[in-house]
Amino acid sequence: MVRKFLWALFAVLFSMNANAQFSQLLESVKGQVVNSAQNQISQGARSATNEAIQAAQSRTGKIVESVRSSASQDVSKEAPKEASTENQDVKPK
């Protein structure tokens, strides 16, 4: 009778220990999964941010080049007009 009681007590203690270890294992796995997911989300966000910045820089560069090109064409169109007005202001002696 005492032996049965001791074996039952041993089984209960062993079961509680195993359950505690299993719970710790589950918590550890959960922590690793959450950490991994957060890392992947962070990397995805960084990647998306970098792509958006590159796209914005590319568009900005194209706009700046377009404005420069347009301004350059306007200057070349205005240059002959200015030269001709200067010649008109000069009176022959």
Mean pLDDT for the stretch of residues 44-71: 92
**pLDDT over 70 at 80, yes or no:** no
d(CA 52, CA 60): 12
pLDDT category of residue 86 using cuts at 50, 70 and 90: low
For residue 69, the enclosing domain spans 43-83
Number of domains in the chain: 1
Question: Do the domain assignments include residue 63?
Answer: yes
9 within domain boundaries: no
Between the alpha carbon of residue 54 and those of residues 30, 44, 73, the distances in Å are: 36, 15, 28
Q: Over 90: is that where the pLDDT of 34 sits?
A: yes
Cα angle, residue 50 at apex, residues 49 and 54 outer, rounded to 5°: 120
Question: Could you tell me the pTM of the whole model?
Answer: 0.48
Q: Is residue 54 part of a domain?
A: yes
Q: What mean pLDDT value characterizes the chain?
A: 84
| Calpha distance 57→90 (Å, rounded) | 49
Q: Is residue 71 part of a domain?
A: yes
In a domain, 78, yes or no: yes
* Residue 88 belongs to a domain: no
- Position 41 pLDDT exceeds 80: yes
Does the residue 13 lie in any domain? no
Residue 14 lies in a domain: no
